[in-house]
Amino acid sequence: MRMKEFNGKVAVITGAGSGIGLSLANLCATEGMKVVLADINEENISLAKKSLVDKGAEAISVVTDVTKPEAVDNLAQEAFKAFGEVHLLFNNAGIIWQKPFWESTLTDWALMINVNIFGVINGIRAFVPRMLDQKTEGRVINTASLAGLTYGEVENSAYYGTKSAVVALSEALDRELRIIDANVGVSIVIPTLVATALVTPKGEVELKSKEKVNNMFQAGAHPNDVAKGILKGIRDDKLFIFPDGNLVTSFMITTRSRGQFKGIRQSKSLGK
């Protein structure tokens, strides 16, 4: 189910206050879409909305904590009230921390599980039934990560765990919607490395992770290029969208699968 025409349609973006979300908001507006910006940071999306409106776009901003079902329900209500329909739902809000497992606290884990997993579940629950009822073409685009498909990296137990969960959840949704021949499709965005700060709700940047990550590679992809890659992936009806993928991406994913193949093969020698 190809969605080619974005002009005049409505996009809802969580985590729209910065990074990929902000770039998506700007790009969708440029494509002639009406944009609903959602984020936990009121100032960021207020500014972003104002900037879009100043450029002649139709946009609203709704402060939303994606971990709270009522808040996401409210976001949906505001979106449908303002624009009548929703065509692209970007469950994009995400969080990261990096530390050894035994140093992680309950709060650390609650943050990751609630934002990265429940944030997506809440978005799906609040929007998809109505998107299905619309009977127009629609799409749910969940921002996962390469961490959702590659071998778990040390100090990243919750990030790889929650992002792997998002990929599996999105695949299941995709299949369920195909089975009922739905007008709504699914895309899973797999960024490799993007030059943004994944921020904590307090707005503090996880500097440690950003520095470490920038030391390994020269520079992350620009979120504007990532947003372009995402929209292209939607046009191409892709289940998996790799907006900044390259040979390294494919190598890392294949290596992980090889490890699992080896695990399957070796398990044959476990007796009887």
Tell me which residues touch another protein (CB under 8 A): 69, 100-102, 104, 106, 109, 113, 117-118, 121, 124-125, 128-129, 147, 149, 151-158, 160-176, 178-179, 233, 238-242, 245, 249-250, 253-254, 257, 259-268, 270-272
* Shortest spacing between CB 219 and another protein, in angstroms: 21
Nearer to another protein, 77 or 257 (CB): 257
- Closest to another protein by CB, 50 vs 135, is 135
Residues forming the active site: 160
Please, what is the Cα angle at 77 between 72 and 81, to 5 degrees?
150
Between 75 and 166, CB nearer to another protein:
166
Strands (E) in the chain, as ranges, are 10-14, 34-39, 59-63, 88-91, 138-143, 184-189, 240-241
Give whichever of 178 and 212 is closer to another protein, judged by the CB atom: 178
Sequence-separated (6 or more) residues with CB below 8 Å from residue 222: 194, 195
The two tokens of residue 48 are 């972003």
The strand pair at 240-241 and 184-189 is best described as: parallel
User: CA 163, 167, 21, 15 torsion: positive or negative?
Assistant: negative
Distance CA 272, CA 257 (A): 26
Instruction: Work out how close the CB of 70 gets to another protein at its nearest, in angstroms, rounded to a whole number.
Output: 10
* Distance of alpha carbon 113 from alpha carbon 104, whole angstroms: 13
* Nearest distance, CB of residue 149 and another protein, angstroms: 6
Minimum Å gap between C-beta 18 and another protein is 26
